[in-house]
A and B are shown apart, each in its own frame.
Chain A
Amino acid sequence: MNETILIGLAGVIAAATPVVFASIGETITERAGVINLSANGTILLTAMAGFAVAVNTGSLLLGFLTGALIGALVAAIVAFSSITLKQSQVAVGFVLALMCRDLAYFLGDPYNSVSGPFLTPTPIPLLKDIPVLGTLLFKQDILVYLSYLLIIGAALYMFKTRPGLILRGIGERPAAAFVRGANVNRLRYLYTILGGAMVGLAGPMYSLSYKAGWKGTISGLDGIGWIALAITIFGGWSPIKAAFGSYFFVFLQWLGLVLQSSLTNIPSQVLQVAPFPLMILALLLVNIGNAEWVERALAAMPDRLRHLISGLLRSLRSSPPASLGVPFENE
């Protein structure tokens, strides 16, 4: 394979890593039955705060920890207001998405365009020499390797372990999980905060690695959180599909930039958003099977066609956890 393309694709994997973390974090939260809509603000705030801490202390580790901590804190507010106070998750999450963004821009002002530390790639010996795959996967920084473990670990945990079964249970049928001894609300707190910490890590992954530094409103990070939320749905609340969605999305953006050179009359900002119509289309494809009129239309079709189309729709279809966004009361 052409070396330039290969390096470009390796860049796609690096660029998608924060999105992988954020979308898997949100997947875990939503599997537990809670929607945390604050991701976009969280990522901006943690990108700024993580960078500020790393600049002041010289420690990358502290920068990343700050990101995770703030992400967890924001998620804890969502959890408290929705689980304990029974307020609308969407409302609180949306307000936090806006407020944390403005907080990032306000407090980040002194750090605008300051130079600071950032993570450099650590090629893995031996593995890096594998043709094609070596360049693609194993000449990255530590966080990228961590993301591989996260994808596999989250999928195994969710679908192959007993705590994972309970996690899915409290999002699907909390009453049933409760009867079997799960403390639904405490677990929802736990997974919301855990997922929030992962979303929070995505911020410093930009400011301390992939897009090093903080540049205020032109950091190019506004929107990433919303993308991660859409990928969570597109991925049907599965960690592996969420990771695939993240890679696919960033790949499309990269493709847009590559095509830029041959399509000079289209501004780059337009190509940057090209994935969004595709995202809507994808959401349409995975959801349309749930629509009422489709069922009616299918019923009117001849048998063979109906089997074909309904089979196709079923294979694409994804339904949210049954109790997503529904508060649980153990009475």
Chain B
Amino acid sequence: MNKNSKSFELLFRGLAILLAVLFASLVLLLAKANPLEAFRYLIVGAFGTTGKILDVLVSWVPLALATAGLLFTFTAGLWNIGVEGQITLGAVFTTAALRLLMNSGLPPGLIIFLAILAGALGGALWASLVGVLKIYGGVNEIFGGLGLNFVSVAITIWLIFGPWKRPGTGSMSGTEPFPRELHLPVLGNSNLSVWSLVLAVLGIVLVYILLRNTYFGLRLRAVGKNSRAAFLLGVPTNRYAMLAFFLCGIFAGLAGAVQVTAVYYRLIPSISSGYGFLGLLVAMLVNFNAIWAALVAFFFAALNIGSIQLPLMMRLDSTLSGVIQGSLVLFVLLMDGVRRRITGKR
């Protein structure tokens, strides 16, 4: 077989998936569980009924939004680990806007719209903070972002137990739920809001076009591939890095806004639900392609929803989904390295 062919690359991808499945099976055997049974519950749990498939889409929306945003920072060669905090601040800003406007007499649709915009702003501001720390303070974005993630959780918990606490006493179950008219409407009796689905699809398409077919995308790629060379060729690299953070923050903030207006209808302590970190894993797999990101995010969301069955049916912890997602990315990275070593390509 031609060592440089596309099929050679696919072969190694397939091998990576196989290894990830084997690894997950091994882990299941260690937990004294039958792997085939577990995989069957994962699939049935995600696709068994129309309701389950719609649940997968509910989980897909924030994941796809976060991943779409992360493609900007990935393209610019930045590790935006602060994305979790950006989702959280998006949710905080959305909650703040809803609380502020809920008795204003404005039409509910407009209030929700403004609240989602506020979420985008919150995420963007929090992301810009990471950018400013990195570009003007020399603080590596990984550590600035991590620190701000912890701070964002503290802000959320302080709000839930302090200024925004439920009548009576605050609790870890979150703030008082918003009235029904401030929920994004859902499809039939499912949990899926069509509006949030449209938002995510539009986001994916927008990012795809921006990164693939515009001068902006080209320059952003140049910054990511070789910042020094891009700078010497006249690309304002600092401004582009800031912009990448800002855009990523908008999308992360939207993910947080969706969590409040279409999923939980209130602010809860772990409102980001780990979608930011999961988005980073997705973004690592898809080589800057937003369409692939949408597909992989769908698969990951299906694992999330499917794994809910494990504690119910097999008394296993649902974190198996994270083990599968992680091992998949790990083996893809490893097999990619092996392939490059064999073909001698860098």
Q: Is the CB of B336 within 8 A of A87?
A: yes
Q: Which of A141-149, A207-215, A271-279 contacts B (4 or more CB under 8 A)?
A: A271-279
Given A266-B158, A270-B158: A95 and B150 interface contact (C-beta under 8 Å) = no
Given A81-B334, A273-B150: A95 and B284 interface contact (C-beta under 8 Å) = yes
Check: B180 CB closer than 8 A to any chain A CB.
no
Q: Which of A103-111, A113-121, A132-140 contacts B (4 or more CB under 8 A)?
A: A103-111
Residues of the B chain whose Cβ atoms lie less than 8 Å from the Cβ of A19: none
Residues of the B chain whose Cβ atoms lie less than 8 Å from the Cβ of A233: 140, 143
Indicate with 1 or 0, residue by residue over B132-155, a CB within 8 angstroms of chain A CB atoms. Answer: 010011111011101110110110
The residue on A at minimum CB distance from B139 is A283
Residues of the B chain whose Cβ atoms lie less than 8 Å from the Cβ of A102: 319-323, 326
Shortest B84–chain A CB gap in Å is 11
Q: Which of A6-14, A24-32, A284-292 contacts B (4 or more CB under 8 A)?
A: A284-292
Partner of B154, one of A77, A269, A290: A269
Partner of A95, one of B143, B151, B316, B329: B329
Shortest B166–chain A CB gap in Å is 14
Given A233-B143, A276-B151: A284 and B133 interface contact (C-beta under 8 Å) = yes
Check: B1 CB closer than 8 A to any chain A CB.
no
Q: Which of B59-67, B119-127, B239-247, B337-345 contacts A (4 or more CB under 8 A)?
A: B337-345
Check: A226 CB closer than 8 A to any chain B CB.
yes
Partner of A106, one of B136, B147, B158, B317: B317
Residues of the B chain whose Cβ atoms lie less than 8 Å from the Cβ of A188: none
Residues of the A chain whose Cβ atoms lie less than 8 Å from the Cβ of B337: 81, 84-87
Q: Is the CB of B139 within 8 A of A267?
A: no
Number of interface residues of A (CB under 8 A): 50
Q: Is the CB of B330 within 8 A of A106?
A: no
Residues of the B chain whose Cβ atoms lie less than 8 Å from the Cβ of A96: 326, 330
Q: Is the CB of B322 within 8 A of A90?
A: no
Q: Is the CB of B323 within 8 A of A106?
A: yes
Q: Is the CB of A85 within 8 A of B340?
A: yes
Given A98-B281, A277-B151, A284-B133: A90 and B323 interface contact (C-beta under 8 Å) = no
Residues of the A chain whose Cβ atoms lie less than 8 Å from the Cβ of B329: 95
Q: Is the CB of A276 within 8 A of B162?
A: no
Q: Is the CB of A273 within 8 A of B336?
A: no
Q: Is the CB of B138 within 8 A of A287?
A: yes
Q: What separation, in Å, do the CA atoms of A126 and B336 have in the docked complex?
A: 59
Q: What separation, in Å, do the CA atoms of A125 and B147 have in the docked complex?
A: 42
Given A87-B336, A102-B323, A265-B162: A293 and B136 interface contact (C-beta under 8 Å) = yes
Shortest B54–chain A CB gap in Å is 25
Interface residues of A in 62-114 (CB under 8 A from B): 77, 81, 84-88, 90-92, 94-96, 98-99, 101-103, 105-107, 109-110
Check: A311 CB closer than 8 A to any chain B CB.
no
The residue on B at minimum CB distance from A98 is B326
Shortest A312–chain B CB gap in Å is 15
Please report the number of residue pairs spanning A and B whose Cβ atoms sit closer than 8 angstroms: 145
Partner of B317, one of A99, A105, A270: A105
Check: B161 CB closer than 8 A to any chain A CB.
yes
Shortest A284–chain B CB gap in Å is 5
Shortest B274–chain A CB gap in Å is 9
Given A98-B322, A273-B151, A276-B151: A283 and B143 interface contact (C-beta under 8 Å) = yes
Q: What separation, in Å, do the CA atoms of A272 and B146 have in the docked complex?
A: 15
Main SS at interface, chain A: helix
Residues of the B chain whose Cβ atoms lie less than 8 Å from the Cβ of A216: 317
Residues of the A chain whose Cβ atoms lie less than 8 Å from the Cβ of B340: 85-86
Shortest A295–chain B CB gap in Å is 11
Check: A223 CB closer than 8 A to any chain B CB.
yes
Interface residues of A in 157-192 (CB under 8 A from B): none
Check: A230 CB closer than 8 A to any chain B CB.
yes
Given A87-B337, A223-B150, A283-B139: A105 and B319 interface contact (C-beta under 8 Å) = yes
The residue on B at minimum CB distance from A92 is B333
Check: A152 CB closer than 8 A to any chain B CB.
no
Check: B280 CB closer than 8 A to any chain A CB.
yes
Indicate with 1 or 0, residue by residue over A253-266, a CB within 8 angstroms of chain B CB atoms. Answer: 00000000000011
Given A99-B327, A106-B317: A291 and B143 interface contact (C-beta under 8 Å) = no
Given A90-B142, A230-B147, A284-B139: A106 and B333 interface contact (C-beta under 8 Å) = no
Q: Is the CB of B154 within 8 A of A273?
A: yes
Given A85-B338, A233-B143, A283-B144: A95 and B320 interface contact (C-beta under 8 Å) = no
Q: Is the CB of A95 within 8 A of B144?
A: no
Check: A229 CB closer than 8 A to any chain B CB.
yes
Q: Is the CB of B157 within 8 A of A267?
A: yes
Interface residues of B in 248-297 (CB under 8 A from A): 277, 280-281, 284
Q: Give B contacts to A, CB under 8 Å.
A: 27, 30-31, 79, 81, 133, 136-140, 142-144, 146-148, 150-151, 153-154, 157-158, 161-162, 170, 277, 280-281, 284, 316-317, 319-323, 325-327, 329-330, 333-334, 336-338, 340-341, 346
Given contacts A230-B143, A230-B147, 17 further A-B contacts (CB under 8 A): A85-B338, A92-B330, A92-B333, A94-B81, A94-B280, A99-B330, A102-B323, A102-B326, A103-B27, A106-B316, A216-B317, A276-B150, A277-B151, A279-B147, A280-B143, A287-B140, A291-B137
Q: Give A contacts to B, CB under 8 Å.
A: 37, 77, 81, 84-88, 90-92, 94-96, 98-99, 101-103, 105-107, 109-110, 216, 223, 226, 229-230, 233, 265-267, 269-270, 272-274, 276-277, 279-280, 283-284, 287-291, 293
Q: List 30 A-B contacts (CB under 8 A).
A: A81-B337, A85-B341, A86-B337, A86-B341, A86-B346, A87-B334, A90-B79, A95-B326, A99-B322, A99-B330, A106-B27, A106-B31, A107-B27, A226-B146, A230-B147, A266-B162, A269-B153, A269-B154, A270-B158, A272-B154, A273-B151, A280-B133, A280-B144, A280-B151, A283-B140, A283-B143, A283-B144, A284-B138, A287-B137, A287-B138
